[in-house]
Chains A and B, each alone.
Chain A
Amino acid sequence: DSGVTQTPKHLITATGQRVTLRCSPRSGDLSVYWYQQSLDQGLQFLIQYYNGEERAKGNILERFSAQQFPDLHSELNLSSLELGDSALYFCASSPRLAEIYEQYFGPGTRLTVT
């Protein structure tokens, strides 16, 4: 158990819908990262937040957005869902920003878009 929690574990929804994925980082970690994992693309970095502020963006679609709240939990919002958005979505956390720290991953949310 990494200490990172994600809800829900599974999510099934229809095309065009909007969903919210939630992540709570390890106790004391200030930085949260979101990744998407699909069979053909592997793990792809989406976005990073540090202490409530957006710090980095990867290959995140405009239909996707995220935020980190004062209690440090984070939410990833996916809208206008398409079949191709079906994937595993992982959240990871690390202690700080300025140094090299390993990222600890949560158990993921499996999103299925039908």
Chain B
Amino acid sequence: GESVGLHLPTLSVQEGDNSIINCAYSNSASDYFIWYKQESGKGPQFIIDIRSNMDKRQGQRVTVLLNKTVKHLSLQIAATQPGDSAVYFCAENTITGNQFYFGTGTSLTVIP
């Protein structure tokens, strides 16, 4: 099956700094990518998504970058806040739209 992985399992940042979380995917045919945030004791929560016809998409304080050449996805969080502390997952959707593949997650800790 597909492989979606993360470069770093943990990330610590100072409050107010920008955070960058990376993700690699292996299936060049995938055309839809999603970032989720999971807080302790809760289900994953949608943050932002991007389709393969784009290379950048911005939301409120978050930006997702897609580099299809090297099959790399990143999530940038601007002015990181303590409430951003969570585990972040990237997910990849097959071109048929049926199956989703998740990375193992990066734990983000924001230091006040």
The answer to whether A and B come from one shared complex is no
Enumerate chain A interface residues (CB-CB to B < 8 A): none
Enumerate chain B interface residues (CB-CB to A < 8 A): none
